[in-house]
Structure 1
Amino acid sequence: MKKVLLSEKIDDAGIDLLKDNGFEVKVSSSTDIATMKREITDAYAVIMRSSELPKEVINAGKQLKIISRNGTGINNVDVAAATEAGVLVAKVNGANAFAVAEYVMTTMLMLSRKIIFTDKLLHEKKDELNNVSLPGFSTKYGLNGNEIKGKTLAILGLGHIGQVLAKLAQAFGMKVIGYDPYLKDSPIKLYDNLNDVYPLADFLSINMPLTDETRNMITKKELTTMKKTAYIINSARGGIINEYDLADALNSGVVAGAAIDSFNPEPPSPDNPLFNSKNTIVTSHVAGTTLEANQALGIGAAQAIIDFSHNKMPQFPVNPDVFKAGN
């Protein structure tokens, strides 16, 4: 029976699918390097979530044939090392696109309507409510937010998530623009130069993978070109935006607010500046992990291994050149 190692537990639907297809499924007791090196030794396949899979762990997998990513981003997997070892890497595209797009819309609305600030202030000042109307209270403390209708959403990255997000935003009456150097045809206006996008955005949504090209792409220089009323949502990967520069921009009023779901590194250290920056929503990498999305991701990651074991190329291979029949 071939062993599938899970770096962390995936949805039961994926686990059941693997077991129904004759695989032994083992969840690693930890994601640290020493434990993973020990657990991966006799594994035919490994399913990774967001923890790191470095070269030394991959090379410890003496029977390893396929690495299946329970998600879209592969920045946590040493693909070069896998390719060198002849191990196929596969991922799951689009399974959580709606979940992430929904997260972006949710946080845009929360920021624009000052929901978290209003909730906090209402709890703190509830004793003041006896002799004042709620509209009066809201006016006194500046709690009346803005509508997103008519505002400009700039989407950086028009893959599955970006395209779903564009449709949702348009349904809210927003003007949607974007940047994606790898996309030829787009339902929205694309800009060739990122520097032309930043000043136009009322909301900026980062939906790109973390690569050498996008690492530290947004710094103080770019932030200072944005509107002081602009909001930034990063539901992609930490490292694309410089967290210290963003915190400084938030605290000094260079931009109005942010929602951050991914950090660099993960988990974030207690002294990460975004924990204490002004008007910032921080979440624990939950944008794409609704119950529905987790189920779809788990099934997709499992199916890639099943397909591979049947000498069929998985739907979304990362290094397809290493695929060989007779696996």
Structure 2
Amino acid sequence: MSLVDPQTAKIVFLDRDTIPPHITIPSLSCPHQWIDYPETSPQQLVERIKDADIVVTNKVILDASALTHAKRLKHIAVAATGVNNVDLDYCASKGIQVSNIQGYATQSVPEHVIALLFALFRRIPGYHKDIQTGEWQRQNKFCFFTHPIKDVAGSTLGIIGSGSLGRATATLAQAIGVKVLFAERQRAEQCREGYTPFEQVLANSDAVSLLCPLTDDTRNLIGRDELQQMKSSAVLINTGRGGLVDEQALVEALQSGEISGAGVDVFTEEPADDSNPLLANSTLPNLILTPHVAWGSDSSITRLCEILVANIEASLQQHPIKNRVV
């Protein structure tokens, strides 16, 4: 017997606004009730999930205190790769399936990394700001060089995270003449074939790209000590998770010239506010901030929606879920 009756299934999407409105979510092939909520606050959560058979969430936190009220719940379909917003232990103990989305952004995220790499090496934000503030007029020359410009080709990119995104980024980087080093895990006793010791990657790279998940082992992976190990001419690019980087230490490294620049797409709290060190210093000419959109090309989001619906269809039909986490 199916875990959920596909004729009467109630499916609730808690934060539909995380998918752009111009992207269509494919329809399920069987009768069902599907309810979209633009967003869901903690105060609204219990009421919205209490009689749901399937819950779809991107970033809404589903902890045990909320899930205990969802007596009919059989499947949580996470509309993202990261599942740290779901209490997986609770779900396992109650037989609630959890699925995520994998392999949908292997074009979008690498392109964002490389875009930030070019912008930082070419110092595009700094020169743009100089024009805004009238520096070109003050210089009174056809061109001026207030920021050193570096070529991307011939540089070395250290990648921390060797999953599908890390590998796809490496392929794109190598295609434009960049040497790639994959970092071994920090404090690893041995270095695997094809990897370079973590500390050597920091010391030898012209750019370091973070593409690993956030875990207890990787939280604050890049802090003051690690930034000091990098070249003063190097840049840091974080499109992984905000908690991978000590944000205050990064700001201080940018201000002191300890590193040359940084491109950041992810933050410890999202959305970030002015209390966040990066936002508070967003006018730095060597800092580029984007609002967690590296994954978000139209083609990637369309693919995400297709995988999301496939996960739900598999659950309803009692077929193996390709992206099952629990």
The verdict on a shared fold, with TM-score over 0.5 as the criterion, is: yes
Partner in structure 2 of residue 185 of structure 1: none
Q: Distance in 2 between matches of 1:130 and 1:194?
A: 43
The 5 Å alignment of 1:172-187 reads 172-180=176-184
8 Å CA contact retained: 1:14, 1:301 = no
Per the TM alignment, residue 264 of structure 1 is displaced from its structure 2 partner at its CA by 0.7
SS in structure 1 at match of 2:243: coil
Per the TM alignment, residue 53 of structure 1 is displaced from its structure 2 partner at its CA by 2.1
Partner in structure 1 of residue 155 of structure 2: 151
Matched, 1:223 2:224: no
Partner in structure 2 of residue 244 of structure 1: 248
Q: Distance in 2 between matches of 1:100 and 1:180?
A: 21
8 Å CA contact retained: 2:23, 2:301 = no
SS in structure 1 at match of 2:310: helix
TM-score (norm 2): 0.88
Matched, 1:75 2:80: no
Q: Distance in 2 between matches of 1:60 and 1:72?
A: 25
Partner in structure 1 of residue 58 of structure 2: 49
Alpha-carbon displacement from aligned partner over 1:273-306 (angstroms, at most 9, x marks no partner): 1120631111110000111111111111121011
TM-score (norm 1): 0.88
- What's the RMSD between the two structures over aligned residues? 2.2
Partner in structure 1 of residue 102 of structure 2: 93
8 Å CA contact retained: 2:26, 2:309 = no
1:249–1:293 CA distance, 2 compared to 1 (3 A) = same
Partner in structure 1 of residue 271 of structure 2: 267
8 Å CA contact retained: 1:42, 1:63 = yes
8 Å CA contact retained: 1:5, 1:26 = yes
Matched, 1:165 2:204: no
Matched, 1:234 2:248: no
- The amino acid across from 1:105 in the alignment is I
1:251–1:29 CA distance, 2 compared to 1 (3 A) = same
Q: How many pairs were matched up? A: 308
Per the TM alignment, residue 14 of structure 1 is displaced from its structure 2 partner at its CA by 6.1
Q: Distance in 2 between matches of 1:291 and 1:246?
A: 31
Per the TM alignment, residue 51 of structure 1 is displaced from its structure 2 partner at its CA by 3.1
Matched, 1:16 2:26: yes
Per the TM alignment, residue 31 of structure 1 is displaced from its structure 2 partner at its CA by 2.3
Partner in structure 2 of residue 190 of structure 1: 195
- The amino acid across from 1:53 in the alignment is L
8 Å CA contact retained: 1:37, 1:57 = yes
Q: Distance in 2 between matches of 1:90 and 1:40?
A: 17
1:14–1:37 CA distance, 2 compared to 1 (3 A) = farther
Q: Distance in 1 between matches of 2:305 and 2:65?
A: 25
- The amino acid across from 2:70 in the alignment is G
- The amino acid across from 2:324 in the alignment is P
Identity %: 30
Q: Distance in 1 between matches of 2:47 and 2:80?
A: 24
Q: Distance in 2 between matches of 1:35 and 1:157?
A: 36
Structure 1: runs of 5 or more not aligned: 182-187, 320-327
SS in structure 2 at match of 1:17: coil
Q: Distance in 2 between matches of 1:150 and 1:40?
A: 53
Structure 2: runs of 5 or more not aligned: 1-7, 186-192
Q: Distance in 2 between matches of 1:225 and 1:130?
A: 36
Deviates more, 1:274-283 or 1:299-308: 274-283
Deviates more, 1:22-31 or 1:195-204: 22-31
The 5 Å alignment of 1:85-124 reads 85-124=94-133
SS in structure 1 at match of 2:95: coil
Deviates more, 1:265-274 or 1:145-154: 265-274
Q: Distance in 1 between matches of 2:138 and 2:226?
A: 42
Deviates more, 1:28-37 or 1:90-99: 28-37
Partner in structure 2 of residue 287 of structure 1: 294
Matched, 1:3 2:10: yes
1:56–1:36 CA distance, 2 compared to 1 (3 A) = same
Q: Distance in 2 between matches of 1:201 and 1:50?
A: 33
Per the TM alignment, residue 127 of structure 1 is displaced from its structure 2 partner at its CA by 7.2
Partner in structure 2 of residue 323 of structure 1: none
